[in-house]
Structure 1
Amino acid sequence: MNAKKAVSGAAAMEEAPSFKSEKVATLILGLAMVLVIMNTMMFNLALPDVTHDFMLSPSSASWIVTGYSIVFAIASITYSRLSDYVPIRRLVVISLLLFGLAAIIGLFANSFLMLLIVRIVQATGAGAIPSLGLVLISRYVPVERRGAAMAIIMSAASLGLGLGPVVGGAVVQYLGWHFLFAVSALTLILVPVLAIVLPRESKGAGSLDLPGALLAAVSTTGLLLFLTNHQWYMLAGGALALVLFAARIRTARYPFVLPALFANRKYLLLSAVGVAAYLSSFATLFLLPQILVHLHGLSAIESGLVIFPGSLLALLMSRKVGGIIDRSGNSAIIRYIPVLILVSVALFALLSGTSYVSILLIYMLLSLGFTFMTSSISNEMSRLLPVSQIGSGMGLFQLLQFVSGAFGVALSASAIDWQKSLPLHEAYSNIYWGLAVVVLLSIGCASLYLRGRSAKPVLASAVQAERP
């Protein structure tokens, strides 16, 4: 029975019609992705000013970022799961309205509590864009054009990561942190356009597994708080919630995450490769500003300008990346691009202390590899998973990526503290060698995935089984 459902789901995915405004919708979603990811990064630069204005301790002020991050992670997988039975168009419009209207209120935030509430409401909307963008492309863009669409979304994320520190630093320095919300409010312009161009779907059967969602939220929150505050009871609470979550998804009628995903070896191997790429990228974006400021004497804005060319290159190459994926498939990228990421990380370990020019060039290499890798992994997953698992599978992958990125940042910060007695360039170098080990493990996972790919792809065999 389940096999039959998987076959019909795969066949449905193969025959999924594109919508008339496919290119426009992809570009607008890419622009929304830039603004959402920029918003995530910009407020890191506002923390010192917020701490001063509201007379907060650093740990209290950090909740502006930590609280946002936790809600963003949970919102991402929640919207993905909702997309299995709620129209994507409705979810996107609601999420961007939440994000943009909260930004307008944030312009007038005059207390820390008001600011924190605004940021959390923003996060409930922001988490929709990365996950729903991938679900939309997986569901509606034909296989022969899917790589290009995925590359646009992933390169937009890279551009947002690069623009965030530059724009955030300039706005905070010249206008004040309140005006960061003006940048975020620009998303409201996109709402009527997306309401027109996104496909209209009918509502399906299903309901949100609230107990499962709450357990996922508690387990994720416990892990992230342990990584940032190093309090063991947070880890214990998160671990207990994770055990209860595992039990819940096996008994719920409409589980928050489909248990079949954890039994899908190919899905787990692909996820591990993507997780390593995110961990390396987020750790690097955390480390590079510190290296540039403390080792090379640059200002925050100058540091952002050193990082920006790598993000811009990823955007400019997105069409090329998508074309390569659509023409040649994902196998070569999954096989070789992790090696490129490994080379980039090793070069950072060897050369990050020499000059900022070296950092600029190496980050261009890493950013390009990150765009190739994440675009290809997302594209491969859209082919691997049956249509009934796309929402849950993409959402879980987004959650794993986000948590791995937070883990990379937290572990890098802890590693700096552990190495206070060492010269800074040695401490940073050691962290990058540690990242190299993670990337080496991902190369092993990629090899295992490709070795098991000799059998016919799930999609092709499923469609063939449907034929008389």
Structure 2
Amino acid sequence: MKIIYILALAMIISVMNSTMFNVALPSIRQDFDLSSSQVSWVVTSYIIIYAIGSVTYGKLADKYRLKNLLTVGICLFAVGSIVGFVASDYWMVIAGRILQSAGASVIPASSMIIPIRYVSPEKRGRALGITSSGMALGTAMGPIIAGMITSFADWRYLFAISLLSLVTIPFFRKYLNQDQVRPLKIDLWGGVMLAATVTLLLLAITNVSFILAIMTIVLLIIFILYIRQAKQPFLDPAIFRNSTYTMTMIIACLALIFNLCVPYLIPQMLSSIHQLSSFTIGMIMFPGALIAAIFGIVGGRIADSKGNTFLLRIAFILQLMTYIILAVFTDRSYWMIMGVLVIGNTGLTFAQVGLANTVSRTLDGAQVGVGMGLYMMLSFISGAIGTTVLGLILDRVQSPWSFNSLWHYSEANTFSNIFLVFAIWMAIVFIFFFRYLRVANQNGKIAK
């Protein structure tokens, strides 16, 4: 289990790097005289490469040893950090972020593969709980550390923090020595088409472009036709013939669509309704994420002892409670909101552990790398889609009404209605998921 703790440390640094730069966007925009759409590429470029890299490294893990992939990826992460740190032009900032993401994406891919390859199924829930805790802690620490650094130093120092990931390389090389690799030919064209499809999808949503949406559909069709004919395709269509894996993954991504939405929405709400500073908002969000990180380990143990279905029921109840409370008390004390986030973040962490563990048990050894990599990619994409749609709603919709009559002004209505939709969405998804799990368990397709 030592390798799991090293992996969790790498996950903290990787996830921090994805959240820190949200705080620095105003400073970057001012330094380079950019528009809002231009500066958004600091975040968008990272998400696109991060999502694609998750499935790419999952595929490469079937051919190359994990310790070598992690060494190359973390070194590339460090190179991107150096490029960003010395950036004198905006293109260097983007180049640094792309290199960072191309390297850092090896970590979430490994966070799915290592527990499966190196941990027995009876202890896998605990291992996934530890890595999920690293993700939660990194999400919490990113904005706080970024706020402190940008308050006292130049935003370029955010790049320097990522160099800490280099300390994990010797440990990965020491403990990852049991890999069984297979001689595979990497389908470069398939990877390029997948990358282009994902990029067009996120661009279409970000820019609300009908033309880009049509291009995405066309390229997706071409990609599907290609992998059906290729001898060793980047994504083997056979994995989708595993109907249990496909259905479980789709439902899991629908459940995790709020993985990025809640961390995005809460700061917007605290800023516009409670007029809090970025640093204060980070301090309010930190306890919930920290406690959720601690309870992530507990969630893993619950999954091992009581089963994934039991853990997911707890996750559903905690998240549903959170969204209902936030919908009813949107404009009340932000101290109360801080307490509610403890419940919500814990529920989200439990869901991440239970869903990843459930998906992993639908795959055999030959499909684990690409299957879990694809799961991570779709999880990031679903979260990015949810966040983008949420941003469009906040920019363009101001609700004149609310189901709750407690409000004294209308600004809180939009946030209240969004949280109500969250609650309804989660109820529908989890009810459907539990019904499917019951049938799958009865047929012996998924281990409890």
User: Aligned runs of 1:101-116 on 2, under 5 Å?
Assistant: 101-116=79-94
Q: Would you say the 8 A contact 1:269–1:445 is kept in 2? A: no
8 A contact 2:112–2:373 mirrored in 1: no
Distance 1:295 1:150 in 2: 36
Identity within the alignment, %: 33
1:205 corresponding residue in structure 2:
183
1:67-466 aligned at under 5 Å gives the runs 67-201=45-179, 203-420=181-398, 422=400, 423-455=410-442, 457-458=444-445
Does the CA-based 8 Å contact 1:415-1:431 persist in structure 2?
Answer: no
Q: Deviations for 1:356-386, whole angstroms, at most 9, x for unmatched residues?
A: 1222122111111111111111112222211
* Per-residue deviation, 1:428: 0.9
Post-superposition offset of 1:220: 1.0
Q: Which runs of 5+ in 2 are unaligned?
A: 401-409
Determine the structure 1 residue equivalent to 2:403.
none
Count of residues in correspondence between the two structures: 438
Listed one character per residue, the Cα deviations across residues 376-426 of structure 1 (whole Å, up to 9, x for unaligned) are: 111122222111111111011111110111111111111112323643210
Q: Judge conservation of contact 2:440–2:446 (CA < 8 Å) in 1.
A: no
Q: Which has the higher contact order (CA 8 A, sep 6+)?
A: 1
| Alignment partners' CA distance in 2, 1:420 and 1:359 | 22
Distance in 2, Cα, partners of 1:388 & 1:459: 17
Which amino acid is the alignment partner of residue 63 of structure 1? Answer: W
Give me the TM-score of the superposition, normalised by structure 2.
0.94
Look up the equivalent residue of 1:325 and give its one-letter code: A
Q: Distance in 1 between matches of 2:314 and 2:326?
A: 19
31, 41, 53: which is aligned to 1:53?
Answer: 31
Aligned partners of 2:255, 2:337: CA distance in 1, in Å? 18
CA positional deviation for 1:197: 1.8
Q: Distance in 1 between matches of 2:228 and 2:324?
A: 42
Q: Which deviates the most, 126-135 or 441-450?
A: 441-450
* Whole-angstrom CA distance in 1 between matches of 2:134 and 2:346: 12
Residue 195 of structure 1 and its aligned partner are, at CA, apart by 1.5
Q: Is the 8 A contact 2:83 2:92 kept in 1?
A: no
Contact kept? 2:326, 2:337, Cα under 8 Å: yes
What does residue 405 of structure 2 align with? none
Cα distance in 2 for residues equivalent to 1:226 and 1:349 = 30
Give the superposition deviation at 1:455. 3.2
Give the drift of 1:269: 3.4
Cα gap change, 1:60/1:51 in structure 2, threshold over 3 Å: closer, same or farther? same
Instruction: Spell out, residue by residue over 1:137-171, the C-alpha distance to the aligned partner (whole angstroms, 9 max, x if none).
Output: 11221111111100001111111111111111111
State the one-letter code of the partner of 2:370.
S
SS of 1:207's equivalent in the other structure is coil
Cα distance per residue 1:85-104 (max 9 Å; x no partner)? 21111111110111022212
In structure 1, C-alpha distance between the alignment counterparts of 2:291 and 2:251, rounded to whole Å: 22
Instruction: Give the superposition deviation at 1:319.
Output: 2.6
Q: Which moved more, 1:314-323 or 1:175-184?
A: 314-323
Per-residue Cα deviation, 1:258-287 (whole angstroms, up to 9, x for no partner): 323333332233223432343223111111
For residues 1-20 of structure 1, the aligned pairs below 5 Å read none
Say if 1:419 and 1:325 are closer, same or farther in 2 by CA, change over 3 A. Answer: same
Cα deviations by residue, 1:292-314 (Å, 9 ceiling, x for unpaired): 11111211010011111111012
Answer yes or no: is the 8 Å Cα contact 2:80–2:98 preserved in 1: no
Amino acid at match of 1:427: T
Normalised TM-score (structure 1): 0.90
The alpha carbon displacement at 1:456 in A equals 5.2
Structure 2 distance, partners of 1:441, 1:215, is 34
Q: Distance in 2 between matches of 1:140 and 1:72?
A: 24
**Distance in 2 between residues matched to 1:30 and 1:317, nearest whole Å:** 14
Amino acid at match of 1:445: F
Does the aligned pair in 1 maintain the 2:257–2:383 contact within 8 Å?
A: yes
Q: How far, CA to CA, are the matches of 2:350 and 2:180 in structure 1?
A: 34
> Gapped runs of 5+ residues in structure 1?
1-22, 461-468
Q: Using the alignment, how far apart are the partners of 2:429 and 2:240 within structure 1?
A: 18
102-111 vs 301-310, greater mean Cα deviation: 102-111
Counterpart code for 2:31? D
- Aligned partners of 1:261 and 1:203: how far apart in 2? 19
Q: For 1:386 and 1:253, how far apart are their aligned partners in 2?
A: 20
Cα gap change, 1:254 to 1:459, in 2 (>3 Å): farther
SS in 1 for 2:183: coil
Deviations 1:329-371 (A, max 9, x none): 1121234422332222222221222121222122111111111
Does the aligned pair in 1 maintain the 2:23–2:147 contact within 8 Å?
A: yes
